[in-house]
């Protein structure tokens, strides 16, 4: 695919993720340099003390890493693993995850991600993540292409 096609395809993929819709997340920026995913921290996304639930932050890291790595690998990819460090409670009202492919090879893209909480005039770093997006094996790629589904999954390897 051409670069522009990949981006269009990735955006369409994001919008087909039911869970991203449930969360209310948006893919705000996407290039071969980075993916930016944002969500407004409405009350349904909080834990019992009013901060963003850790699971919301881990979703943001997972998905931003998936799309950053997926574009770097031209689309036939999946997130294999990641780790996240929570560093400050996130009170929003806006959360932004920025993931960058730091190392891209024939078989994987290793991405780093930072999540910030944005208020009127303040940005707070709330989490740091690092993970691997793996290129799908070539026979799987053929299946994907045949079925015209592609793969930027935010998910897991169909072995």
In the region spanning residues 3 to 42, those forming contacts with a copy of itself, defined by CB under 8 A, are 13, 16-23
Candidates 27-35, 52-60, 67-75, 92-100; binding stretch for a copy of itself (CB under 8 A): 52-60
Instruction: Candidates 30, 35, 84, 97: give the one binding a copy of itself (CB under 8 A).
Output: 84
Q: Shortest gap between Cβ of 144 and a copy of itself (angstroms)?
A: 9
Tracing tokens 């294999």 back to the chain, one arrives at 80
Structure tokens at 88: 């400050």
Q: Which of residues 53-82 bind a copy of itself (CB under 8 A)?
A: 53-63, 66, 78-82
DSSP code of 62? Answer: H
Q: Shortest gap between Cβ of 83 and a copy of itself (angstroms)?
A: 4
35 versus 126: smaller Cβ distance to a copy of itself:
126
Gap between the Cα atoms of 129 and 99, Å rounded: 9
Structure tokens at 23: 């969360």
Gap between the Cα atoms of 42 and 115, Å rounded: 17
Beta bridge pairs of residue 5? none
Helices 3-15 and 54-72: angle between axes, nearest 10 degrees: 150
User: Are 157 and 16 contacting, i.e. CB atoms less than 8 angstroms apart?
Assistant: no
Q: Shortest gap between Cβ of 17 and a copy of itself (angstroms)?
A: 5
Q: Which of residues 118-157 bind a copy of itself (CB under 8 A)?
A: 125-130, 132, 134, 137, 149, 151-157
45 interacts with a copy of itself by CB under 8 A: yes
């Amino acid at each position: 695919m051409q670069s522009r096609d990949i981006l269009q395809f990735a955006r369409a993929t994001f919008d087909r993720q039911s869970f991203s819709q449930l969360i209310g997340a948006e893919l705000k920026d996407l290039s071969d340099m980075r993916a930016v995913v944002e969500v407004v921290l409405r009350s349904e996304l909080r834990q019992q003390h009013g901060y963003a639930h850790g699971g919301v932050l881990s979703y943001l890291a997972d998905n931003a890493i998936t799309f950053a790595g997926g574009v770097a690998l031209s689309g036939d990819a999946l997130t294999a693993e990641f780790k996240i460090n929570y560093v400050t409670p996130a009170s929003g009202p806006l959360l932004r995850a920025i993931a960058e492919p730091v190392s891209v090879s024939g078989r994987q893209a290793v991405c780093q991600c930072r999540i910030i909480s944005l208020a009127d005039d303040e940005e707070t770093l709330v989490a740091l993540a690092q993970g691997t997006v793996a290129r799908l094996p070539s026979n799987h790629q053929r299946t994907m292409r045949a079925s015209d589904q592609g793969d930027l999954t935010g998910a897991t390897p169909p072995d």
